[in-house]
A and B are shown apart, each in its own frame.
Chain A
Amino acid sequence: MSGGVEIPVRVVDVEQATETVKRFRLAPLSGEALPPFSAGAHVVVTMDDHGRRIRNPYSLIDRAEDGSSYRIGVLRVPNSRGGSKFMHENVKAGDRLVITMPVNLFPIVRTGRKHLLVAGGIGVTPIYAMANELKRRSAPYEIHYAMRNEASGAFIDELRAAHGDKLKLYRDDMQEFVSVSEILPNQPLGTHLYVCGPEGMIEAILKGGREAGWPEENLHCERFLAPTGGEPFSVVLQRAGITAEVRSDQSLLEAIEEAGVDAPFLCRGGACGQCETTVVSCDGELDHKDHYLTEEEHASGKKIMICVSRLKGRELVLDL
């Protein structure tokens, strides 16, 4: 429960959108309407893989008007610790899952005058919801959607139908790339830019924005990190008096949960700060992967975001 209110859902539809992307429609078991959400929000999905609990965050694509379902999009990741693989291989219509209440770490800036939405690959899922919300509000916006090739663009048809010529596509195989020098000039004062996609793309777009003289306050990105595996190590939860092994295919947070300790979390992607934990001691190097702590905090060795970061060493002692 440390991730907030949980909602048991049933998968009512699975759609193979592209070779590597599936869309899942989730309906509440209770029959009560799912709450509305603000564009950019995600839910954490809990999967039960034969007793092994996997939790992954996925951006919400949309909500049925009557609240009867949410949709999420899942990319199959080759070196997944199991979450996206499980969703792709095991989850069928009729199956049960548990989701958290929506949490938004990538909101539209409501004071903005215009909004540039830039998506790469599966990063389109929050952008999709944002575009719909902006359209509903009659706010000015543009969508710039990059993909490997047209066949891998999981949301082209729906976006084109809803947004017409506000949508611009960039296909790698046709040598089309999002060029900041083309999309950034001449935007009116008060325009905000939002980018979600591969890390390299995010960096390039943000860098381009800064070089074009855009203030930091107008540049926004979502860097959800799927926690990667790594070398196994031991974790000692000092207050609970528990020692657990962190396997190479699980995150520190997952190992702590498996040991029966309820640690706080919200995004499970290194962004929100909720799982910040005090390091009592460690006999190796902390492998920080989050975007929340400052460089100084990383260097201090006193804090760790347990959802994505690990230890390169033998034993980590936490104040939990």
Chain B
Amino acid sequence: MLVSDIKSRPVYKGLTVDDAARRHLVAAEGEGALAVLEAFGDAPEAWSRMTLLYTPGGSAPANHAEALQARAPDAFHLHPTRQTLMTRLRALLDTATMGTRLYATGVEGFIGQVVAAGIEHGVDHFSIRTEHRGSLARRVQCVHCKGFMDDVTVSPVTCAHCGVPLLVRDHYSRRLAAFQGVSIDAECPGDVPAAEEIFK
């Protein structure tokens, strides 16, 4: 479990299965596949009520998709990218009914986007079960130009949109599913420390 003293960062408590759920709507990315396999184990009745969306991300070589499919989820959607997964997820949420339990697992930026999509559909974020797996890379929003960057592993990082060198702050927005990037050299223009790989 990712332990952190950042107050605004969500606590990812792990994928505990809600046995009462009529439908398990599971969104997984990369190594998150392993969390799904562990949490749902080999209880066929749970898999038979599961709609599973998976995008392998950097974990493609490990071929977790095959392992997931082998458990025979009721519906299995394999997506080439996070973006295509999110499009499918939103469509499923549009018509989902109460009794659907939403799960999200993978890197933090991915979990955040799933949770934000759930909130947009009236799901209380406390009711979404989440587990962090994979790297500690962060999704970052530049506070100046509002551009997002996925999978940021270093700080400072230059904003890919406006070019301002950004300090990645320990402040997280659930609505934006991102950490905050703020100019690091505003008080000393040009004096930017070397980037350190701190979110591995």
Asked if A and B touch directly (CB within 8 angstroms), the answer is yes
A interface list, Cβ under 8 A from B: 111-113, 184-191, 210-218
For A217, what are the chain B residues with a Cβ–Cβ distance below 8 Å? 124, 126-127
Q: Mark B61-101, 1 if CB is under 8 A from A, else 0.
A: 00000000000000000000000000000000100111111
* Contact A184 B98, CB 8 Å, known A210-B20, A213-B20: yes
9 further A-B contacts with Cβ under 8 Å, apart from A113-B121, A189-B123, A212-B99, are A112-B122, A188-B96, A188-B98, A189-B121, A190-B122, A210-B20, A211-B20, A213-B23, A214-B98
Q: Which of B22, B101, B121 interacts with A190 by CB under 8 Å?
A: B121
Complex Cα distance, B154 from A206, in Å, reads: 47
Interface of B is mostly: loop
For B93, what are the chain A residues with a Cβ–Cβ distance below 8 Å? 189
User: How many residue pairs between the two chains, A and B, have CB atoms under 8 Å in the bound complex?
Assistant: 58
Complex Cα distance, B98 from A189, in Å, reads: 5
For B151, what are the chain A residues with a Cβ–Cβ distance below 8 Å? none
B interface list, Cβ under 8 A from A: 18, 20-23, 93, 96-101, 121-124, 126-127
Complex Cα distance, B101 from A84, in Å, reads: 43
Complex Cα distance, B22 from A184, in Å, reads: 12
Listed residue (A112, A214, A215) with the most chain B CB atoms within 10 angstroms of its CB: A215
Q: Which of B20, B97, B122, B127 interacts with A186 by CB under 8 Å?
A: B97
Contact A213 B100 (CB under 8 A): yes
Complex Cα distance, B21 from A189, in Å, reads: 13
Q: Which 4 pairs between the two chains have the least Cβ-Cβ distance?
A: A190-B122, A215-B127, A213-B99, A217-B124
For A214, what are the chain B residues with a Cβ–Cβ distance below 8 Å? 98-99
Q: Which of B96, B97, B121, B124 interacts with A215 by CB under 8 Å?
A: B124
Q: How far is the CB of B15 from chain A (nearest CB, A)?
A: 15
* Contact A111 B124, CB 8 Å, known A210-B20, A213-B20, A213-B22: yes
